Amino acid sequence: MNKGNLAHAAKLCLGLGVLIVLAGCSQSPVQDPFWFLHPNGPIARASIFYLVVDVLLLSVVIVPATALVIWTFWRYRRGGSGKYDPTYNHSIPIEVIVWGVPLLVVVALSYYSYHGARDVAPYNPEVLESVDDNGQAPLHIQVIATDWQWLFIYPDQHIAMSNRLVVPTNRKIALDLTSVSVTNDFYVLKVVNQIYMMPGMRTKQHFLVERPGTYQGFSTEFSGPGFSWMNYKMLSVPPNVFDQWVRRARLSGNRMEWKQFKQFAEPTINTGNQWSLYSDIDNDLFTHVIHAVNDGTLKYTWPARFSEDMTSAEFEREFGTGDAGANPDGTTADAPQNIPDR
């Protein structure tokens, strides 16, 4: 390889590095580029563990193979020290290495994949079975995704909240999830893996948060013009703060029954990430939504203006770009007071 080719390769690597850095500077709900180093809860920790194991096992093959290719090109280049041997046709040590090592890696990957799938299985994660929750029943929350908002229903507490999720720490959370129009994802960074939310179907997810804080939730499935604003904050608070929030939520006076939900589910671009509390809810709303989607009685179309100039003055007048307002605990910050952001 001559100096010109080396210089070209160096420029190419430098360009790729700049692109990677710039990609991390784009506007994104992910503010911490090293979020995977701060998992919160057994599900997140197990997911990171198995991810690291997979990367290390694959590196056992990829790193030596890459180094060997580079060494071979260098040794057997024109003018190199490599010798051509026309009689060479077989090597038992090489055969053992090139077949034995990948076989061992596949066996190890199969073992960890099996246990990893069981540990973080959405419907019954085994990693939560060993958690001491003082005999508390899991907190049941129903999640409905619309175009392009979220509704979180607490059926046992008879309350609901739009575009904000509040959970207590050190208590198992059991989610039922569905979607009104298209497939979405439920995903909270540092806390729980993504899971599909499909229209007319019910999926489940379980997790537990150990530390108070504010965490970013969003859908990873593109769903139309309002997708970029389809984010929500998940607030994990101590159990006593959660109980206080539930008592305040029951005083909101807002209704969320079938009539109100049909209006809520109309395509809405929530640029200001506005949220609302509801104290008078339909206990069968989640099931009603699934049935209505399946029989076609709950169906919406996007207005043509939603796909036009998303940065126009008309768009700002229509949907606004304001702040979300006060938090569930009465503060105006994104997180309850004195609660760290991880």
Distance, in Å, from the CA atom of 142 to the CA atom of 193, rounded to the nearest integer, reads 17
Domain with CATH 1.10.287 in the chain: 37-130
**Structure tokens given for 25:** 């500077």
Q: For 101-111, write each residue's pLDDT tens digit.
A: 889 989 998 89
What pLDDT does 320 receive? 53
Distance, in Å, from the CA atom of 113 to the CA atom of 304, rounded to the nearest integer, reads 45
At residue 310, does pLDDT exceed 70?
A: no
At residue 5, does pLDDT exceed 70?
A: no
What pLDDT does 21 receive? 44
pTM for this prediction? 0.74
At residue 18, does pLDDT exceed 50?
A: no
Give CATH for domain 137-301+310-319.
2.60.40.420
What is the distance of C-alpha 18 from the center of its chain?
A: 26
Query: Per residue, what are the HEC states of the chain?
Result: CCHHHHHHHHHHHHHHHHHHHHHCCCCCCCCCCCHHHCCCCHHHHHHHHHHHHHHHHHHHHHHHHHHHHHHHHHHCCCCCCCCCCCCCCCCHHHHHHHHHHHHHHHHHHHHHHHHHHHHCCCCCCHHHCCCCCCCCCCEEEEEEECCCCEEEEECCCCEEEECEEEEECCCCEEEEEEECCCCEEEEECCCEEEEEECECCCEEEEECCCCCEEEEEECCCCCCCCHHHCEEEEEEECHHHHHHHHHHHCCCCCEECHHHHHHHCCCCCCCCCCCEEECEECCCHHHHHHHHHHHCCCCCCCCHHHHCCCCCHHHHHHHCCCCCCCCCCCCCCCCCCCCCCC
* pLDDT tier at 51, thresholds 50, 70, 90: confident
What pLDDT does 140 receive? 92
| Residue predicted with more confidence, 250 or 303 | 250
Q: For 144-174, write each residue's pLDDT tens digit.
A: 988 888 999 999 888 999 888 999 988 988 9
What pLDDT does 257 receive? 86
What pLDDT does 276 receive? 85
- Which strands make up the sheet holding 213-218, listed edge to edge? 164-168, 231-237, 213-218, 184-188, 192-197
Cα first-last separation, the chain: 49
Distance, in Å, from the CA atom of 279 to the CA atom of 251, rounded to the nearest integer, reads 7
**Under 8 Å between Cβ of 38 and 209:** no
| Residue predicted with more confidence, 320 or 228 | 228
> Rounded mean pLDDT of 205-226?
84
Tell which phi-psi region holds residue 271, choosing left (phi > 0), alpha (psi between -120 and 50) or beta.
Answer: alpha
**Percentage of the chain modeled with pLDDT above 90:** 9
* pLDDT tier at 11, thresholds 50, 70, 90: very low
What pLDDT does 249 receive? 87
On average, the pLDDT of the chain sits at: 77
Domain with CATH 2.60.40.420 in the chain: 137-301+310-319
What pLDDT does 154 receive? 94
**Structure tokens given for 94:** 């090489």
* CATH fold for the domain made of 37-130: Helix Hairpins (1.10.287)
**Structure tokens given for 5:** 């080719």
* pLDDT tier at 317, thresholds 50, 70, 90: low
Q: Which of 77-86, 122-131, 151-160 has the lowest mean pLDDT?
A: 77-86
* pLDDT tier at 295, thresholds 50, 70, 90: confident
